[in-house]
Amino acid sequence: MYRNILLTLFSFFFYAWGEPIWIVLLLFSALFDYGNGIWIERLNNKAKAKWVVVFSIAVNLGLLIAFKYSGFIYDNIAAIISLPFDRPTVTLPIGISFYTFQTISYTVDVYRGDVKAQRNPMNFLLFVSLYHQLVAGPIVRYKTIADEINGRKFHWDDFSSGIGRFSLGLFKKIVIANAAGALVDSYLINQFNSLTSVTAWFGITLFAVQIYFDFSGYSDMAIGLGRMFGFHYDENFKNPYAANSITDFWRRWHISLSSFFRDYVYIPLGGNKKGAGRMYLNILIVWTLTGMWHGASWNYMLWGLYFALLMFAEKAFLLKLYDLVPSVFRYTITLILVVFGWSLFYFEDLSKFGEFCVALVNFAPNESVSFLFDLKQNIFWFGLVIMFCIPWNEFGFVNQRLSSLSTHPVLLSGKIILHIGVLLICTSFLVGSTYNPFLYFRF
């Protein structure tokens, strides 16, 4: 009990350090759905309880729309008709997209009978505010950690593995994502007008590296910190750039978001159980919402629709076509489609996106000196990126070998030294650099 109170207070202090004013909104969201959960459970009538769920979803989404999309809605209406009031200027509360979905999933799960309503308000505040994943995810469902909120035990093995996972995430963020981000800026901003096909693909590939290692690094740190405190969050990334189809990619990328839309939107709409036409409509709805979730801009909508079209193609013919070609082509085509999709994600200005698409097919004979220099200068870094993208844990012989060596005392000592070394390296990078972008801040 006292551990929960202390962790909750620290989590609120952590959030208030970045945005003290919006702690009121976080409190409201938590206490609002705390009450809704108890209300739903006390109603023996499913029809009445359903209206409480609808009320909860409406209020939560209403707040999300007001804070995240009001300016976007205003701009699009004002482009058609003159509005008698100024554009709303509200600051986007940090993490609102994540904790809104968490509380929505809680009320729905209580309604479905998947979990019991939490009766202790402090425990529910802990669920909503856990600082490990509050700011950048993953989206944690109440049922995943319900038992650990009510009673968890400290284990040194968990604490040790948590430090290792946190160190890995910090390394991915500081050493790989930040380095990729610095190179991205030099290609997709400063040299945009002079891009050739090779440098354009090189630049957007770097962005693909940056966004993966940035977000998966934060997820690793959240999972590691959670484990140190006795919480076991689900995985959020599983080597997505090793996917052999777009469908497989979204089973591996931001798993907590894709599974949320699957369980709370796609399946309730009928999934693939009501014919092909309804299935395609459900896919379109899910991917429109996925694009919208990422940002209040048309490029995110188009990014979502892009993946909806790819899903349509896979369902209709592409997966069958893949079976006719060597698997290496399947992996390559998937990677190219995913990397190109990130260009829609990157360029909020659609005119810039159009210019970038032209650059992608600008087959100029000579590449810039700066590109060749960057390629040579970062050759070992590129090798490190590739090593991190390979799904080593999916190779059976690797897992067997690691399992047999995992308890060896020399290796255990080596892991501790490695973790300390990684933390020191990352700390030195943080101290020595002011470049530390946070891509998922706006989500």
Catalytic residues: 294
Count Cβ atoms below 10 Å from residue 51 Cβ, excluding itself: 12
CB atoms within 10 A of CB 314: 18
Sequence-separated (6 or more) residues with CB below 8 Å from residue 65: 73
Question: What region, left, alpha or beta, does residue 139 occupy, with left being phi > 0 and alpha being psi -120 to 50 degrees?
Answer: beta
State how far the Cα of 259 lies from the Cα of 140, in Å rounded to an integer: 11
> In this structure, which long-range contacts are made by residues 428-435, counting pairs with CB atoms below 8 Å and at least 24 apart in sequence?
429/174, 429/175, 429/178, 430/174, 433/178, 435/178, 435/181, 435/182
- Give the DSSP per-residue string, 334-360: HHHHHHHHHHHHH-SSHHHHHHHHHHH
Contact (Cβ atoms closer than 8 angstroms) between residue 272 and residue 262:
no
- Cα–Cα distance, 251 to 237 (Å, whole number): 9
Number of H helices, E strands in the chain: 21, 0
CA distances from 266 to 89, 215, 318 (A): 33, 24, 21
- How long is the chain? 443
Q: Tell me the C-alpha distance between 129 and 123, whole Å.
A: 10
| Burial letters 393-406, b for 16+ CB under 10 A, else e | eeeeeeeeeeeeee
